[in-house]
Amino acid sequence: MTYDAIVVGAGHNGLACALHMATRGWKVLVLEQADSPGGAVKTAEVTLPGFRHDLYAMNLSMFAGSPFHAEHGQLLAKHGLEFVGASKPFASVFPSAKEPEWLGVEQGLDATVKHIARVSTRDAEAWRCMDQRFEREAPHIFSLLGSPVPSWQLAKGLWNMWRALGVSGMAETARLLMSSPRSWLEGQFESDTVRSLLATWGLHLDFGPDVAGGALFPYLEAMLGQRFGMTLGRGGADTIVRSMVSALQGAGGEVRTGARVRRILATGGKVQGVELEGGERITARRAVVANVHPKALYGGLLGNEAPVGSESARALRPGPATMMIHLALEALPEWGAGRELQSFAYVHLAPSLDHMAKVYAQALAGVLPEEPVLVVGQPTVFDPSRAPVGKHILWVQVRVLPSRPISDAASTLAAGPWDGIKEAYADRVLDILERYAPGLRQSVLARCVLSPEDLERDNPNLVGGDSLSGSHHLDQFFAFRPSFGRARWRTGVEGLFHIGASTWPGAGTGAGSGYMLARDLT
């Protein structure tokens, strides 16, 4: 069997790459070892019938705003893609001793500034200034994040940035890109509450408050949330997967699940195709695209054909682990800080920068945090179709955790493999939630707990339960992702390319690596 291109791994980057190539006339085959496509974008009834939970990714804003969707969105809509908008994207709730007890960002500058002004009129004005800065700066930041590294496209983007912002403006952007969340936020806002509201987004991408390079993400999420809200998938995040698979098949492409690739066939530094577990060999005329973790690519699939210098890519450092808790509920949480919190897509439980820094340090040291940071998703507020009439689901992401616990900060759990402690730790999480939303436990109809070990078992790309497929610290970002010398998704083997969250531009649902490579190839 012969194809123009074979894509190994049916995560959203692999599907985006395959679809773009298929629309350009390539004969494409996607091979996925799991029983269903999607990778870390997966929706399933894991608690009770009729309750559809996004197992991992829930926020599809990056996908909806991506260049890939801009080009292929109309086609995907014909194949069933549906979005739901959330006009109130995120909020943080604080211990009752703090004033105010919660703070949020919603779509619309005036509405958000009104929230900020409850804390500080000075910070409200600073927020307006930040909004004006974003208006000038955003096109150039997104040009950078949407360009292959290195490339003439990137060089042109930097040239345009220099013409628009000047040397001082470029210097300010460079400073932002290198700053930690704490240092940047302390330079912007006087209120610890406002700083905490934004700094939580750093933890979404493995940036504790004091880690260099983490300021960019709170900045982008705040400004984009204020402008566009948050985008969810109608019926579940897997709407992007189902529509891409359908569109790919409509363009003549194939997707085979339950098809484990034993090795990538290469001879004399040139790729030939792949061999499946059962011994079947499939030939690729133009390209093999590996949408896998570099450890799997260079440490397993290529075997003795792994090129010189691939050791650094294989050694890509994982970020801290995460746990997912999915709840089927009788009713939405009754937030003690106010019912208005029920109208936000995300509610963060992260009391302060110091608290986040402590949790981050504990996780890196192998210690189970006594009170981890929680990201609480309330998708049924905006999409009731995910649960039976009148019922709800809760999406709880526990950040951040050690992949292999060696002790417990609370001294109540005997640390060991996650399989033996995950339910007890989930009880700790629910105890925290109960403090902020009294009565929640009585509303729980069923729950599903996915530990870091469960994440990796379900998706080997999530090494150690790292949902980002590799830390995004500066030494593993830009031209260093997954390692220096692997630019533009090249592997050192002719015709073999590497995409996914472990490659530039990193994690998220933006389909950046798959789409940019496909444009390169076609």
pLDDT digit string (tens) for 42-86?
999 999 999 999 999 999 999 999 999 999 999 999 999 999 999
The sign of the CA dihedral 266, 272, 273, 276 is: negative
Q: What is the pLDDT of residue 95?
A: 87
Long-range contacts of 433-438, Cβ-Cβ distance < 8 Å, separation of 24 or more: 433/333, 433/349, 433/374, 433/376, 433/396, 435/336, 436/93, 436/333, 436/335, 436/336, 436/337, 436/349, 437/333, 437/334, 437/335, 437/336, 438/334, 438/336
Residue 121: pLDDT band with limits 50, 70, 90: very high
Calculate ∠ Cα 409-415-421, nearest 5°.
110
Residue 99: pLDDT band with limits 50, 70, 90: low
Pairing state between β 261-267 and 102-105: unpaired
Residues 6 or more apart from 517 whose CB is under 8 A from it? 17, 289, 488, 489, 497, 499
3-state secondary structure of 17: helix
By the 10 Å C-beta count (0-12 exposed, 13-18 middle, 19+ buried), 258 is classed as exposed
Residue 98: pLDDT band with limits 50, 70, 90: low
Q: Which two tokens stand for residue 169?
A: 């403006």
pLDDT digit string (tens) for 187-206?
999 999 999 999 999 999 99
The answer to whether 297 and 305 have CB atoms below 8 angstroms apart is: no
- Secondary structure, 3-state, 315-369: CCCCCCEEEEEEEEECCCCCCCCCHHHHHCCEEEECCCHHHHHHHHHHHHCCEEC
pLDDT digit string (tens) for 432-476?
999 999 999 999 999 999 999 999 999 999 999 999 999 999 999
In angstroms, the CA 172 to CA 187 distance is: 12
Q: What is the pLDDT of residue 70?
A: 98
Residue 232 phi, psi dihedral angles, 5° rounding: -115, 165
Residues facing residue 287 across a β-bridge: 5
Q: Which of 465, 392, 377 is nearest to 425 (CA)?
A: 465
Half-sphere exposure of 98 (CA within 13 A, CB side): 21
The answer to whether 260 and 266 have CB atoms below 8 angstroms apart is: no
98 or 314: which carries more pLDDT confidence? 314
- Secondary structure, 3-state, 133-180: HHHHHHHHHHHHHCCCCCCHHHHHHHHHHHHHHHHHHHHHHHHHHHCC
Q: What global pTM score does this model have?
A: 0.97
Mean pLDDT of the region 342-368: 98
In angstroms, the CA 255 to CA 237 distance is: 19
Q: Does residue 309 carry a pLDDT above 90?
A: no
Pairing state between β 444-450 and 392-401: unpaired
Q: How many CB atoms lie within 10 A of CB 423?
A: 11
Q: What is the pLDDT of residue 271?
A: 98
**What's the DSSP call for residue 490?**
B
Q: Which two tokens stand for residue 350?
A: 């992260």
Q: Does residue 376 carry a pLDDT above 70?
A: yes
Q: What is the pLDDT of residue 308?
A: 86
Q: What is the pLDDT of residue 124?
A: 98
The answer to whether 162 and 144 have CB atoms below 8 angstroms apart is: no
Q: Which two tokens stand for residue 48?
A: 């009770």
Q: Does residue 496 carry a pLDDT above 70?
A: yes
Domains contained in the chain, CATH given: 2-82+236-316+468-521 (3.50.50.60), 89-228 (no CATH), 320-458 (no CATH)
Residues 6 or more apart from 293 whose CB is under 8 A from it? 316, 460, 461, 463, 469, 470, 500, 502
C-alpha of 371 from chain center: 22
* Residue % of the chain over a pLDDT of 90: 97
Element (H, E) at 445: strand 444-450
pLDDT digit string (tens) for 234-271?
999 999 999 999 999 999 999 999 999 999 999 999 99
